[in-house]
Amino acid sequence: MSPDDQIPNGTDVPIRQLFDAQRETALRLRTSSADERRRKLKRLNDALLGRREALYEAFQTDFRKPAAEVELSELLPVVDEIHMARHELGRWMKPKSVGSTLATFGTRASLTYQSKGRCLIIGPWNYPVSTLIGPLVSAIAAGNTVILKPSEFTPAVNAVLADLIAEVFDVTEVAWVEGDATTAQALLDCPFDHIFFTGSPQVGKLVMAAASRHLASVTLELGGKSPVIVDESTDLQRAAEVIIWGKLINAGQSCIAPDTLFVQRSVRDKLMQHCKEIIARRYGTRDTDIADSPDFSRIINTRHAGRIAALVDEALELGAKRIAGGPHDVDGCFVAPTLLTDIPDSARILEEEIFGPVLPVIEFEQVDDVIAYVNARPKPLALYLWSTRQATIRQIRDNTSSGSFVLNHCMLQYAHSRLPFGGVNNSGIGSSHGIYGFKAFSHERACLRGGPVLVVKTFFPPYTPVKRKLIGSLIQWLCRF
């Protein structure tokens, strides 16, 4: 683009024009240095922290979300990502030597990490900062251009982020595009080199299908029903404190929130009593207290509030018991913290991802029954276990599959930037955070250099009996190990 063709960031221009405008920048960024990328991350960090008050107000508008939760669940993960990338980027970018094999004796090999190019990041509404700007950090660290597409359900937060992106980046490097599903589809029609999507498995399938048309690589951060299992050996008070925190932060609108609680029958009533006491202590004893609490978020909109309320009402009509929680206020986007027991198998709340402050409780006697239940359903994004029995821990860890396995804690795996964050199959494809996010936005390029002695010449045609015998002997020797 010439200076006369510059597009101000955030303006309404054709999507294909934005995509094409990033081509030359993407090529240039392949050779950008670690220092150049660090400077961009520093500017992003400063601009984000400089808008803290604006973000507090925006989250109040969109979610009525308390400022402390904005700090903990939105700002802290991004700042931590930036901190790690700035300090580790030189090591991540450095070519890695790879030892030669017997078949490649006489050569030298290495791995280099090359920018993928033009990338698309589509974010969800539940954590509109950390799930959009977090992947952006990885994309910048890897040397890519990006088009960011936020959810249309968080207009106040989007306004703050749009201003931030316009201040920090030129549109040829990072562009901000808002809109609904039609806009998302127009973006997916462009031949991006990599697509990073966070959202539901249903929409994830559509994103993957669109990416296949251009053979673009994808990272899909999806969701599902993440179970939490509590056996009789654990500290029930501590388990209740952490489980309720993980379930009710952001009013349960978290992809890794506990979605179904399995508790051993002998301790069910005691655990439920702890849970009810913790809810009352943190948010109030009456429905009106909880509704007025400044520490409890709202559901994002009336459509989602109505969906959650309908799941609860159907379960109650089928015979479930509500041992905590009260009436819904769908018009006010309020669903009270709710605990349900004795839920019939036919209730939709046991099959659909809840994404709200409602926790179904299922009793069990034998751990094998829980394992069978989990394995009969799509693989969850997270599996939580509360136990002190080593045999139980090994049994559940080794006989289930999930994006992450968390013992005697909840949610905190997302904040650990030295661990990969991602799902498996229905709950996601690929990983993010730290070096795993850097790799997601990089092509791991194999490099091989021939040495001074051309060993492979031994195997050039014509294939004489001696050469065939030598090849056969090599294979036989390798099979000995």
Question: What tokens were used for 260?
Answer: 């179904």
Q: d(Cα 228, Cα 240) in Å, to the nearest integer?
A: 11
Nearest residue to 215 via CA among 199, 195, 198, 197: 195
Tabulate helix, strand, coil % of the chain (nearest 5).
50, 20, 35
* Residue 184 near residue 206 (C-beta atoms within 8 A): no
**What are the C-alpha distances in Å from 178 to residues 10, 14, 285?**
8, 12, 41
User: Which candidate, 412, 382, 424, 388, places its Cα nearest to that of 228?
Assistant: 382
Separation of alpha carbons 174 and 180, rounded Å? 19
d(CA 255, CA 187): 24
Strand ranges inside 150-303, DSSP E: 174-176, 194-198, 217-221, 226-230, 258-264
Look-up: residue for tokens 């995509």? 19
CB 111 within 8 A of CB 447: yes
Numbers of helices and strands, H then E, in the chain: 18, 16
Q: Is 221 a catalytic residue?
A: yes
- Size of the chain in residues: 481
CA 394 from centre of chain: 26
Based on its alpha-carbon atoms, the radius of gyration of the chain, rounded to whole angstroms, reads: 26
Which is catalytic among the residues 221, 241, 333, 353? 221
- Cβ distance 241 to 278 under 8 Å? yes
Interatomic CA distance for residues 246 and 383, integer angstroms: 13
> CB under 8 Å, gap of 24 or more: what pairs does 243-247 form?
243/275, 243/359, 243/384, 243/386, 243/410, 244/275, 244/278, 244/279, 244/282, 244/337, 245/410, 245/411, 246/384, 246/410, 246/411, 247/337, 247/357, 247/359
User: Cis link prior to 462 (omega < 30° from 0)?
Assistant: yes
Q: How many CA atoms lie within 13 A of 437 on its CB side?
A: 34
Q: Is 255 a catalytic residue?
A: yes
119, 255, 333, 410: which one is catalytic? 255
Catalytic residues: 221, 255
